Structure 1
């Protein structure tokens, strides 16, 4: 086997000036590398036995061998995964397969692999066959998320950990290149492949179908390939704990006139023991019995438990057309299309605060952490006693329609043995449209809102004048929530449990549709790459690229008109108000838009129908919920809300899509880049080496349109769009990259690499709107609304992500399917994005006149940080060591990653905060067997705790962490005939629960429970 290294002497200057070919390459056994190989050459084309073209290498061992081959012959530090057969990646999803690579971490969504990190950072660029890929889940974001992309369409993926200068689109910490098949990758003649399978989840208890197929023809001069995959999946997961509405800190103490948050409960009864000063005045209440009033407690705004069924109808189509025009020219055209409709249907319950500021949760078991916040000793809470001021069942549905198209046209020209070039154009567009709908029942009579059990919705307009007259009177019953075991346990009084089984005791409380987001984006680019072999030892590569990208995000809420013409309010002579939360507890008495009855009393918003009202017939069901002590509860069937707009209009006709200006924006971006590189091969200190180096120059220009947000409107409606602000930016980056590899022995290769990388921000960080707060100044006639404060979700003055990356590694190749490798890496991130308050002098008052500087809470450029770590991996096949028979079928694929991040921040416990979303330790281990037509594999993944957010609910240092996770997956297949394979797969065999806490492990936040999933199918190929 040639090592693909030329042993010609070369000047030491080559080490510093060397450069690579455009992309990583793999070398078939016994051949020298094709330095202009396209990415799909890396793993897609299996070795062929002879001129018959019959494919003879498939399965786990062949997949591992191809991945090792890619790594060995690459011009930089890369890892690869390769399909075991047509339509068969090693795991169910692309993300699940990628997590087996050292340094790659993923998050699961509905149990399937979703978002991807490389070396603890989400700033990862995604390519498709070597050029930028625009997916529907990344229209406005940088982090890859592959939940909408069928894995069966790919031959594999390459992860670039150290870029070459010619990799014209590179991520901050790494790049994922998704590889589809092309007809010239396959055997001559006709290739047919198809598979059908059924998936089953132990929560959904439903079989879900999935099919995929491929048709390809290769005549060597002409090739055509079409592959498609379709699935209709139902995925189940559950949630219980503190709801992500946030938490607040409640204290025992205060002043003599304001003796603390726990002075009086919602039932008017003092809570805790009164603490008095020397004058006998009450200065606080001792809640935890330690004799003072100097404690503060973490208090949630809501506790919840729910079940969610995620339905995904996913279609993917890949087509490729190739012409070998002559010995020098090859034309390739590719198209890749995905479409997915996803419904997240949730049914659950909530313990809620009444006004979001009160404290109905009395800490009945707590612990002093030793931390001090605002002068109070911070306590974690293990058990809450709850006054039951508001207990609600609810349903929520998110519908996400996503679609993406990516096209490529490329001409490869091999002018001679020493000069090659490629001209390429791409175009892509994607859209993601998220619609939300929410409906809520309450089991109370509504008296806690001050209506004495009587609503104020006129019967003439279709509502009952009383709210839930059979609901329980507030504070008459008590409940507890116990987190001491780590798993939330709910305890209810028996009288309340009995009441929950009577549908007539439920009353409709709220209907809403908010946080709807529509995103559209497109991208196009032209590029040219060339390589000139100046001598047997030196190659020169150069190229350029021009690309444009545009993004538009429209965020809105569905608001409904109420009571038009039913008011004499002179400020609103036409009558009627737009309302976001159609709810009995929304009192329409705001002076900006009041709606009064004949007696001058304000109406409430929302129908006040009971659960057994005929209007709910057929759309109300009873559900089991995933928390100990929870009864079966009635709520609206989430499927009834699949069409959010139609559901809203069925209760409140004439709904309007009201823009949320703060989250609506558009960006147009243009990038011009070019690179120059030199690569060299030779011998140094008696060792053959291969080196490359060069520089990429990127000029970026973009224009951001932000909305200026006016005063918030009554009844939850977002502030008006008060105009647009346009910002133009331009910056140029010089991005050097150097890689060198030494063949210490025939089997041992040493590598070193340095690169400077740049990645664009998530577009919301540039484009989020400006929300201005106004105060009325009555000293003027007419009164003047003056800008006093502002919040900005985005800041167009932020710089992109930039980092310097260093790494070194050793690779020991012990066989075709065997490798042991170890490496270290160091990433120095120039700056992180942080929250801060700045002042601006360009914000006008409501009359358009700028009069003062205004403080703005926004995102700003923060300090940088470093990420360093170690990666160790071993891929071993016993057959490579001469083991025959049954034992020769065994192999292992294992790796460990240590990732240490230093952000310079600490949490409330004094612990150093790691990089967000990064785990310090990750372990992957897979044991496989392949013999006698049988293939089996058991794979294990471990992630240590990770930081989810640094300042949960806005409290500095109150960090949200996820506890360590362990996932166990398995697969088995058997070749019934040479052309027919039966297979099965199981994921999450241990039914792992993902648990979260706030800074202190005994301050439990919540947990996700994902179902076990099983697959059985048959695959055929000809």
Structure 2
């Protein structure tokens, strides 16, 4: 249920953080490396920011897009990802109605590298390690600019197939005098049910120089709190040919498309409510010193603290033995399961992150023509770093099954969301009554991770002070060490506990998902109870089990050398610029797994095979590595004073996901009679390699008006896919794992065995050997991706009005075919996208209305894909300068309450239909 009450949190003036932000000049850098040429560009307001970004694009070698701050401490959007989506070819993924990762030119988040001030930064998460940190974890107010490098360059850190994205923060010598800003705003989230509808966000920056400009200090900080809610309708996935075919009417299947008459069954039908609270703290301290005219030393410390908690309650049921009718594609759209049960789940979720980075940069002008830059940093990211690393508590209540007295359940999936059918007339009272509920299971999951990066970089640039086409030579060395250590714990147990001490209440569905037609046909009630309280009762009843703990880690060391040459010359009296370079990278990988040996399988009941471990930890280590040579060539020519044409070629790499490199083998919840699935990592994975070609034509008019068209093509090899191999796995003693559920003696002796079973419930050598479906990541697929980027921005004279429009078309040489069940790979993130922005500004007022659209795309691929429907969102921002110091502003995100919908192979195979509501930020900003 939505709650639109405005609870005003006191935002005392004493909490304002005095600080300095971006002055009215921003430093636009052509490259992410330390040897970049620097040009000072005046930035003021929307028009100034767009003009500055256009100038960066014009002066860059290769294809580069940029965003710069509009004013001191004022970035175009409240979230970095939401600003980046305004760039041609950049799309975002959203989490809880916030941008959190980007896709570039159709390549999803895992194919892009994000750096901070040219440094590769670690990130951590309970979902596993990643190579690029999440945009939600850094405040936009502290950012000076962002550059998106769509073509490879020798001096840019390798790792981005789609793009390399560099986030720049400010330094005190950027300003040369005292600068400060402070901002306070209330975040008004209309989705809030539990918590406060208005939460505070404070930010500020202060910068000054001393000792005649030879020493400078900059301190910035941002503190944000957000409460939010989310309504979800969906399923826990779709499974091919699950169920008794004799109970499934498949006569509607079009056999010309679906020759094997495959049908897909949903695991569940679900309605649930998420209530979340998020706290984020960012801070950065930068010290600069110029002991001589030739040396500048910069030391910095960057801190991020991020914590998010969520409480979820879910009404659901499982389709264990369904009857149903398929549509022409094979999707079960009318499903019925008699004499079953309802499930009422509760979650409590906690994720904590701590990021710390120490850096040192020394610039030395060795001579008039030669400059060196040394940059080192030691950075660490920790997720759930506390002793108690449990991030997820899960509990489930259900109706006990009665022969002939259960709940009849069903669903119709022909609409945007399913119509839910529940008939509990055979149960005395109601299926929702506490008296008709029993405990089912509890689950606790823990994941602790430490991701560290130590990086050293030495860059040099020689500038030709004489005549000649060669203008400069750039060269350098980089050494990067990535170390990831993680520990995962898991507890899962069916329990029988008394519910008298559990607080259980019911509430109606209310307005959950009311933006979807048919929401009145969902579950009529939710059950509210606490997963933590449920597990406390499990603990008191002594029904906790010993958790299984596994440790995984990887060490990746990369040494790089590069050299590039810049030329300026003429062709038929037309100015020509050339950049030619090559980068050499050598990478060594060592990964390990520590886990207990599998001693047996325990047949508990018809729904569970419990994995029994021997309690003895064993370590397994495997190594790998590769070497790559990455050339680049950039050509640009001024056809006229306003018209530039470009051609670029580059070879880039995308490194395998760190989680793929763990060598351990995991059994994935085996069930009696199957499926028997397992997963295993692969430390010998090779990087993706891409040969990239770009041709562009760019027009630069007066006062920042521009237009451009770019054609790009990428030839990508070594895409990683999950390969399914059928093979036997072994117990710790080396004998094959056998299936106790196949023996009638086990089924008769263990109708509901305990976690300490008798021998009849355990695997025996005479039981059938299990053939497992083992999923292992391998390098397998190649793809050709090409597309067009169209961009225009225009200022209507001196009226104050302006507009920006861009559109990206992306194609791949092999499209996803939903009927091909053995198709191993589909490129995630591939989609067309577009933006339309209109704005007005004068000396005091700024108003901007933006629409962002992204076409349908595959979010993840596997046995069954996750596809996101096309999505468009309107955002509005406005600010008014009361005087030269103080301004007030308002931002509106998702004005029209747009929703997101994800499905599997076909649109009727709903996975998630989510609704968030609009969000507003209202605040005041001061600059000094």
TM-score by length of 1: 0.76
8 Å contact kept, 1:903–1:913:
no
Q: Give the deviation of 1:314 after TM superposition.
A: 0.6
| 1:18-33 → structure 2 map (5 Å cutoff) | none
Query: Distance in 2 between the 1:225 and 1:722 partners?
Result: 49
Query: Distance in 2 between the 1:933 and 1:61 partners?
Result: 13
Give the total of aligned pairs: 835
8 Å contact kept, 1:401–1:432:
yes
Query: Distance in 2 between the 1:677 and 1:154 partners?
Result: 29
Q: Structure 1's 343 and 853: CA in aligned 2 closer, same or farther, altered over 3 A? A: closer
8 Å contact kept, 2:859–2:867:
yes
1:440 aligns with 2:396: yes
Q: Give the deviation of 1:86 after TM superposition.
A: 2.9
**Any idea what the Cα deviations from partners look like across 1:682-727, whole Å, max 9, x if unmatched?**
1123211111111111111111113565256546655637633211
| 1:427-506 → structure 2 map (5 Å cutoff) | 427-433=378-384, 435-442=391-398, 444-447=399-402, 474-475=405-406, 477-493=407-423, 495=425, 499=429, 503-506=433-436
Structure 2 partner of 1:752: 647
Of 180, 194, 198, 2:182 maps to 194
Structure 2 partner of 1:918: 829
Structure 2 partner of 1:552: 485
**Any idea what the Cα deviations from partners look like across 1:522-546, whole Å, max 9, x if unmatched?**
1111111011123444211111012
1:696 aligns with 2:583: yes
Query: Distance in 2 between the 1:797 and 1:815 partners?
Result: 53
**Any idea what the Cα deviations from partners look like across 1:813-858, whole Å, max 9, x if unmatched?**
11232211110111111122223245899x8764358999998542
| 1:625-664 → structure 2 map (5 Å cutoff) | 625-626=512-513, 627-630=519-522, 633-638=525-530, 641=532, 649=539, 652=542, 656-659=546-549, 661=550, 664=551
8 Å contact kept, 2:693–2:713:
yes
Structure 1 partner of 2:749: none
1:710 aligns with 2:604: no
Query: Distance in 1 between the 2:898 and 2:123 partners?
Result: 29
Structure 1 partner of 2:203: 212
| 1:773-812 → structure 2 map (5 Å cutoff) | 791-812=678-699
Query: Distance in 2 between the 1:942 and 1:925 partners?
Result: 9
Q: Give the deviation of 1:166 after TM superposition.
A: 1.1
| 1:761-910 → structure 2 map (5 Å cutoff) | 761-771=656-666, 791-837=678-724, 846-848=732-734, 856-878=774-796, 883-884=797-798, 888-903=799-814, 906-908=817-819
Larger Rg: 1 or 2? 1
Query: Distance in 2 between the 1:1004 and 1:33 partners?
Result: 45
Query: Distance in 2 between the 1:918 and 1:289 partners?
Result: 29
SS in 2 for 1:368: coil
Query: Distance in 2 between the 1:497 and 1:168 partners?
Result: 64
Q: Give the deviation of 1:863 after TM superposition.
A: 2.2
Q: Give the deviation of 1:343 after TM superposition.
A: 1.0
Structure 2 partner of 1:359: 321
8 Å contact kept, 2:902–2:910:
yes
Query: Distance in 2 between the 1:631 and 1:792 partners?
Result: 35
Query: Distance in 2 between the 1:308 and 1:82 partners?
Result: 35
Of 146, 171, 179, 1:182 maps to 171
8 Å contact kept, 1:93–1:113:
yes
Q: Give the deviation of 1:975 after TM superposition.
A: 0.7
Structure 2 partner of 1:9: none
Q: Give the deviation of 1:445 after TM superposition.
A: 3.2
Q: Structure 1's 631 and 834: CA in aligned 2 closer, same or farther, altered over 3 A? A: closer
1:400 aligns with 2:351: yes
1:523 aligns with 2:453: yes
**Any idea what the Cα deviations from partners look like across 1:400-425, whole Å, max 9, x if unmatched?**
01111122101011123311110111
8 Å contact kept, 2:341–2:400:
no
1:606 aligns with 2:515: no
1:992 aligns with 2:882: no
8 Å contact kept, 1:445–1:474:
no
Query: Distance in 2 between the 1:737 and 1:383 partners?
Result: 56
8 Å contact kept, 1:960–1:997:
yes
Q: Structure 1's 252 and 313: CA in aligned 2 closer, same or farther, altered over 3 A? A: closer
Structure 1 partner of 2:516: none
Query: Distance in 2 between the 1:238 and 1:103 partners?
Result: 30
Query: Distance in 2 between the 1:849 and 1:385 partners?
Result: 42
TM-score by length of 2: 0.83
Gaps in structure 2 of 5+ consecutive residues: 1-23, 385-389, 514-518, 671-675, 738-768
Q: Structure 1's 478 and 335: CA in aligned 2 closer, same or farther, altered over 3 A? A: same
Query: Distance in 1 between the 2:883 and 2:899 partners?
Result: 40
Of 79, 88, 113, 1:102 maps to 88
Query: Distance in 2 between the 1:718 and 1:312 partners?
Result: 36
Q: Structure 1's 39 and 112: CA in aligned 2 closer, same or farther, altered over 3 A? A: farther
Query: Distance in 2 between the 1:261 and 1:495 partners?
Result: 24
8 Å contact kept, 2:123–2:131:
no
8 Å contact kept, 2:415–2:908:
no
Q: Give the deviation of 1:656 after TM superposition.
A: 4.1
8 Å contact kept, 2:151–2:650:
yes
SS in 2 for 1:84: coil
8 Å contact kept, 2:382–2:448:
yes
SS in 1 for 2:459: strand
Of 832, 839, 842, 1:931 maps to 842
Q: Give the deviation of 1:124 after TM superposition.
A: 1.0
8 Å contact kept, 1:437–1:513:
yes
Query: Distance in 1 between the 2:31 and 2:617 partners?
Result: 56
Q: Structure 1's 301 and 753: CA in aligned 2 closer, same or farther, altered over 3 A? A: same
SS in 1 for 2:686: coil
Structure 2 partner of 1:678: 565
| 1:141-152 → structure 2 map (5 Å cutoff) | 141-142=130-131, 144-152=133-141
Q: Structure 1's 177 and 33: CA in aligned 2 closer, same or farther, altered over 3 A? A: closer
**Any idea what the Cα deviations from partners look like across 1:759-779, whole Å, max 9, x if unmatched?**
22111211152247999xxxx
Query: Distance in 1 between the 2:800 and 2:269 partners?
Result: 52
Structure 2 partner of 1:940: 851
Gaps in structure 1 of 5+ consecutive residues: 1-26, 48-56, 254-259, 263-271, 273-284, 370-378, 449-472, 559-579, 584-604, 776-788
Q: Structure 1's 386 and 424: CA in aligned 2 closer, same or farther, altered over 3 A? A: same
Structure 1 partner of 2:236: 243
Query: Distance in 1 between the 2:859 and 2:685 partners?
Result: 23
SS in 2 for 1:66: helix
Q: Give the deviation of 1:241 after TM superposition.
A: 2.0
8 Å contact kept, 1:874–1:895:
yes
